Amino acid sequence: MTDLMLGKSVAMPASPEEAVLDRVPNPHQDTNYVTRFTAPEFTSLCPVTGQPDFAHLVIDFVADAWLVESKSLKLYLSSFRNHGAFHEDCTVAIGKRLVGLLAPRWLRIGGYWYPRGGIPIDVFWQTGDVPKGVWIPDQGVAPYRGRG
**Catalytic: which of 22, 53, 60, 90?**
53
* 3-state SS record for the chain: CCCCCCCCCCCCCCCCCCCCCCEEECCCCCCCCEEEEEEEEEEEECCCCCCEEEEEEEEEEECCCEEECHHHHHHHHHHHHHCECCHHHHHHHHHHHHHHHHCCCEEEEEEEECCECCECCEEEEECCCCCCCCCCCCCCCCCCCCCC
Total domain count, the chain: 1
Is residue 23 assigned to a domain? no
Is residue 25 assigned to a domain? no
Is residue 84 assigned to a domain? yes
**Is there a catalytic annotation at residue 90?**
no
Taking only the tens place, the pLDDT of each residue in 73-101 is 999 999 999 999 999 999 999 999 999 99
Is residue 137 assigned to a domain? no
Is residue 111 assigned to a domain? yes
**Is there a catalytic annotation at residue 46?**
yes
**Catalytic: which of 3, 30, 46, 90?**
46
- The enclosing domain of 80 has a CATH number of 3.30.1130.10
Taking only the tens place, the pLDDT of each residue in 36-67 is 999 999 999 999 999 999 999 999 999 999 99
Is residue 8 assigned to a domain? no
Is residue 9 assigned to a domain? no
Is residue 3 assigned to a domain? no
Q: Which domain holds residue 62?
A: 32-126
pTM: 0.93
